[in-house]
Structure 1
């Protein structure tokens, strides 16, 4: 392998990497099932390919700055073939291919250390259409699509359109004109890794732990209407944006891990003065996580949070009074088997489940009625959260979930 003009060129023996080559034409294309043929063009002089005419070579060199796009924010697993395949696919999906049948991408160069790529298109017009893909989700995260640093606007204007076609079908890939994900601005937040069964109201409830949203867009499949597992939002109070990103990023939801960050940047670090707010936010998230359960999950055990103050559980008499009051209230909904209210440990060690109340009913119907009746009620100025709790964990004395 050798490098020339910032692009990687391969010899025939390494053709399986999925690269095609700018400045070259094809006289023989291998029949590789499932691959895009234009990604496997052979170099001039290889396997009988005809040499390029000087005029064609000069034209391709002259237009290269206008046919290449910069793609930033790539995942560590991205490679030349996956980038070429993906962008050829999405260009076709939005109707951005204007140079005829085949794949729009002819060459890819990746800088793995800095996680960016140069993607070369067949034509100037296709490169301009690709600029509409800014913010598109590639391998689970939004990527930047920009002009490369050597792009010459005045020269490019003489070569073809410099703006995307306004009739592109961006909705086919979850984008809208001028704003990826339907929301604009530097404070747009990307929320990825969402379990597909989460509803819009559940996701909004989690995000709104930090404040009301100015905009929210759960990206869905156009044909099925099902969630694609990622969303965008903007907060009314922009000062909470970084707090929400730092607090939510990396949290496990079911079998998924959330990726939450500003859509136009990578890792977000909270400012020092935000640390106390962030701590409170993490506590709120812990409560919200209990609420975001798969639809249809029902058990005989209900877990209540924000219903008791741990300080009120220290004295035996106070504890007995709370236990009796709780029993009288919760027996209204069904036959109770057991009530567990974890108490503070006298030696100061952490107590699993402290601050929660666990109600075990004889049947699912009673538990469901209790959850429906208690959830959202005010208790001591706090709004009670009532969720189903796994019976196996409860029976093992595991109150930490």
Structure 2
């Protein structure tokens, strides 16, 4: 039985392994050559056959069956781990992933370590980590983004993973009851995001929230999995996401409807993550048309001031006559700074005034609150909208940052 190169890189002894080829666990056949055991050389089988009596089956006759079983399930028992540090080695990777699998309750094949083999490509800083079972490999998929030796690593299916074959071998998704908090991960963010129907959504405006991206995608149906990719240090969106629909038949419809549409100053790129664009079939055209109409409606809503920006515009707060007197104007300005500062870090407060001749000037009657981030502006919009000031009910909306920066207050 020939061993592939990555099988020879790091051999882990499983529970009950006694170091001899007669071990009932079969670890000898799974993990490669064992120190102290007879070498696996081409002459091994003839030597055994010479020692047999006529009609006797060799004791090794079950080896190929077990080996074939291991080989057949191997694509579903391995996970790809990318972004490793230069100091990572087979032993450290195996020890780390065995530890975290135990910590999250991901071990399902009995006592002992979940990891049975590790192959590292040091040049490209990735590893293939082989688990004892298909179910444990699926549980390991929940570890995407875990911090290893000071840096987050990617955990993915290897390129030879076959979803249709794997479906018959065991669970293809992580157990939803894994204790990911034990290793500093948030459960559920990327659950259900494997397989050929995974969609890449790129070109998202950075200020889109998770709720807004989901709302856009769910125009086509409920999602089985969704992940808006964020910067691990700042928590800000990186402008792209992945999703999988519960009804896989809408995958191509969603890609066709969303790909190429403009959102703010961005153009969306939406396609299957593992291949290029696929056109919907003729029978899907009516669904596609309806979905495109829904997207167009949502786009109109987004452009009408519902998307978060760092600037909140308030109306029904001040009377233009109150702004003519310098002292009264300063009092109003100070009041707005105090009120707006309750929701986040205020960068600027602008209250346009009538011109000296008393004539109308753009933006008079409005108050603009500029925040350091959209978290503050969002809280201000929610907190101030509908409040009563001087007997008037305040209306709060987000205002385009580019227009505000250019001093255009009449939008």
TM-score range, shorter chain: 0.3 to 0.5
Query: Structure 2 length normalisation: TM-score?
Result: 0.41
Instruction: Give TM-score, length-normalised by structure 1.
Output: 0.42
Higher-Rg member (1/2) = 2
